[in-house]
Amino acid sequence: MQYDILLIGGNGFVGRVIAAQLQAANYSVLIPTSHVTAGRELRMLPKVHLEDADVHEFDELQALCSRIKPNGAVINLVGVLHDKPAAPYGNVFKAAHVDLPKNIITAMQLHGLKRYLHMSALGADSNGPSMYQRSKGDGEAAVKASDLDWTIFRPSVIFGAQDQFINLFSKLTKLFPAMPLANHQAQFQPVSVDDVATAFVKSLTMPQTIHQSYDLVGPKVYSMKEIVEFSARKAKTSCAIIPVPAFVGYLQALAFELLPGPTLMSRDNIASMRLPNTLPPNGKDALMEVFKISRRSLEGMQ
């Protein structure tokens, strides 16, 4: 069977919402994943097919592209948040944010596919202060250098019912009566996962979005302290927020990196916070101006 869309990273938080919106818009969707059994809600969508495949293996990636209709599209949502320190970034970031987009571009070219939607991040910059931002910036550069009909999306922190940001702080505020918080003044402009998904899906029928890069942000700027306070209210708990110096946050992040299990916070995350994760001065509010979306607010989660 030939599909309309190859949705890489479709089994993740953002991918599941995009898949549902693509289904509602009557697109057939192929989602490669190494966790087929975890995609229960996706398997309930009749026009969505999960395929056991490793997109980091070029032969498998090429085979996936061969199953997309000539006028179809490839959407890449893959992103990782943590890696071991290295210059300019580690192998995990390189594989996910730089090598994978390059391989997608090559595989698409081999099969004559042109339309490519790429998930980047607000603040992505090849010369940015964090490995994450530098690797995302190099990924963007590879996309822009290609001959594909690309569109790049650069969201701020994405929130939603199953996000790993607000929900993380909600869990932490339940566990601790007080929370030392470094970088409490760091700024974010959280954007709804539903709004991000709508922009992706709408762009498929908007040729004017080809060769454009869009910053995606919500209607309000929050400090890190305000986000943690919001998370505590969402969790219906009381947690005292104690601002601490930046070096304490650095030590906290180092401790998180050394603990067994998934990393909750890394020193690289701290480095990313040196710059506001907000719409740049004189930046275009793409969700409202281009996609005509009435943006959802963080408070609407409650």
Give domain limits for the chain: 3-159+191-219+277-296
- Rg of the chain over Cα atoms, rounded to whole angstroms, equals 19
Compute the residue count for the chain. Answer: 302
Answer yes or no: is pLDDT of 285 > 90. Answer: yes
Confidence of residue 220 (pLDDT cuts 50, 70, 90): very high
* Range 266-275 average pLDDT: 90
60: how many CB neighbours lie within 10 A of its CB?
A: 16
Answer yes or no: is pLDDT of 178 > 90. Answer: no
CATH of domain 3-159+191-219+277-296: 3.40.50.720
Confidence of residue 241 (pLDDT cuts 50, 70, 90): confident
For residues 50, 137, 263, 271, the Cα torsion angle rounded to the nearest 10 degrees is: -160
* Distances 40 to 16, 53, 162, 206 between C-alpha atoms, Å: 10, 17, 15, 31
Confidence of residue 60 (pLDDT cuts 50, 70, 90): very high
Residue 174: the pLDDT is 85
Answer yes or no: is pLDDT of 278 > 90. Answer: yes
Answer yes or no: is pLDDT of 113 > 70. Answer: yes
Identify the H or E element spanning 104.
Answer: helix 100-110
* Range 213-217 average pLDDT: 98
Percent of the chain scoring above 70 in pLDDT: 99
The closest of 293, 266, 285 to 189, measured between CA atoms, is 285
Residue 238: the pLDDT is 83
Confidence of residue 264 (pLDDT cuts 50, 70, 90): confident
Confidence of residue 168 (pLDDT cuts 50, 70, 90): confident
Confidence of residue 291 (pLDDT cuts 50, 70, 90): very high
Confidence of residue 183 (pLDDT cuts 50, 70, 90): confident
* Range 156-174 average pLDDT: 87
* Mean pLDDT, rounded, of the chain: 93
Confidence of residue 302 (pLDDT cuts 50, 70, 90): low
Return d(Cα 261, Cα 203) in angstroms, integer.
38
Answer yes or no: is pLDDT of 301 > 80. Answer: no
Answer yes or no: is pLDDT of 292 > 60. Answer: yes
Answer yes or no: is pLDDT of 197 > 80. Answer: yes
Of 76-85, 200-209, 227-236, the least confident = 227-236
DSSP category for residue 168: H
* Range 5-17 average pLDDT: 96
Return d(Cα 51, Cα 33) in angstroms, integer.
6
* Range 188-202 average pLDDT: 97
* Range 183-188 average pLDDT: 91
Confidence of residue 76 (pLDDT cuts 50, 70, 90): very high
Residue 286: the pLDDT is 97
Return d(Cα 94, Cα 275) in angstroms, integer.
22
